[in-house]
Amino acid sequence: MIMKKSTQLARQIIRAVGCANGLAGRQLGCENAVEVIKASPYFANVQQKVPLKWGKTIEEVNTGRHANALTGVTQTCRQLAHETRQVIENKEELLVFGGDHSCAIGTWSGVATALRPAGDIGLIWVDAHMDAHTPDSSDTGNIHGMPVAHLLGYGDKNLARIGDRLPKLLPHNLCMVGIRDYESAEQELLERLGVRIFYAHEVDRRGIQDVLQEAQYLVTRNTIGYGLSIDLDGFDVSYAPAVGTPSDDGINALEFIKALLTIDLTKLIATEIVEFLPKFDDNQRTSEQLVSSLVEYIYKTKEFQMQSVNEIVQRVGKCDESVRVSQSL
């Protein structure tokens, strides 16, 4: 009976929420990612291994491209924040498949506001880019390069105040991993705020396992839990060719997946995977396979860790009961 209860706790439902958005990116096409993932034979195989159920897919609101996309992105992110907040309040695991990375404003605004009464959240942001522009600092006006700034409370007020008026992330609870393609305005903002940035050269020198372990410590020391926001362009293009803003010398995806096995995922609140641009994938569908592998290894590892924790708790409870019985005799 104890083992059955423990397994049930470990196999909590994972609710997958989609966001079919791409207008805020440099190239169109990410809006098709959710549809491709749903139909993927690789992902179908993953669904046989983890207790995943699809929820709602948010369709983006089209008000134009670049700077003109601002109103549409705001409406889209509000809808996404509503969905992610509901999943968290229902106490389900949250997995978001986005299009371009502007959807992160919606994802983490919903998570942060849902958990605000309990405490702050942390976030590990895996990316080639800082994504920390504001509308005033961006030359392109592409909002997929702005979510971090808005989650920290900077930039357009309507985007920064989705869910509530407070910043969704505090700088010391955010870690950026794999950064190698950025502009001075973004770097100045993040470094001034004290965000921990693991640049690509540090990842190369130390190894992704060491970096992720430190990042996980930093984002959990002052929080109730943390999230993972994974941009596929954070990885080397040989592992993730299907992205709109590729950058050389990225993270080795195989080493990243191995590193997941070594970090504590018991406090993982939600995962977000973005910037998959299916039309650029190769004949082996390498990027599609990577998305599937990330989901499988994150949630199978978390399941194992949670089951181990629950079994330890049960054993400790049995020992405590034995002590109380012996003391009463």
Catalytic-residue membership of 172: no
Q: Tell me which of 60, 93, 100, 131 is the catalytic residue.
A: 131
127 tagged catalytic: yes
Q: Which residue in 231, 272, 296, 303 is the catalytic one?
A: 231
Q: Which among 31, 83, 133, 144 is annotated as catalytic?
A: 144
Say how many CA atoms lie within 13 Å of 96 toward its Cβ. Answer: 39
Q: What is the DSSP letter of 61?
A: P
What are the structure tokens assigned to 313, written together? 């708790």
Does residue 131 carry a catalytic annotation?
A: yes
Catalytic residue among 186, 233, 236, 296: 233
Let me know if 113 is exposed, middle or buried by CB neighbors in 10 A (0-12, 13-18, 19+).
buried
Identified catalytic residue from 60, 101, 120, 272: 101
Q: Strand 268-274 vs strand 93-97: parallel, antiparallel, or unpaired?
A: parallel
Nearest to 263 by CA among 144, 184, 177: 177
Specify whether 156 is catalytic.
no
Query: Catalytic site residue 275?
Result: yes
Supply 5's token pair.
């209860």
Please identify which of the residues 31, 93, 120, 129 carries the catalytic annotation. 129
Indicate if 249 belongs to the active site. no
Phi, psi of 52 (to 5 degrees): -105, 135
Alpha carbon distance 161, 175 (integer Å): 22
Cα separation values, 181 from 44, 128, 178, 293, Å: 34, 6, 9, 25
Active-site residue, 231 included: yes
Q: List the 14-20 sheet strands across, edge first.
A: 52-59, 14-20, 93-97, 268-274, 226-231, 122-126, 174-179, 196-199
DSSP 240-256: ----SS--SS-B-HHHH
Helix 208-220 to helix 253-260 angle (10° resolution) is 50
User: Pick the catalytic residue: 93, 127, 156, 303?
Assistant: 127
* 122 strand-pairing partners: 226
Catalytic residue among 31, 100, 186, 275: 275
To the query of whether residue 133 is one of the catalytic residues in this protein, the response is: no
Q: Write out the catalytic residue numbers.
A: 101, 127, 129, 131, 144, 231, 233, 275
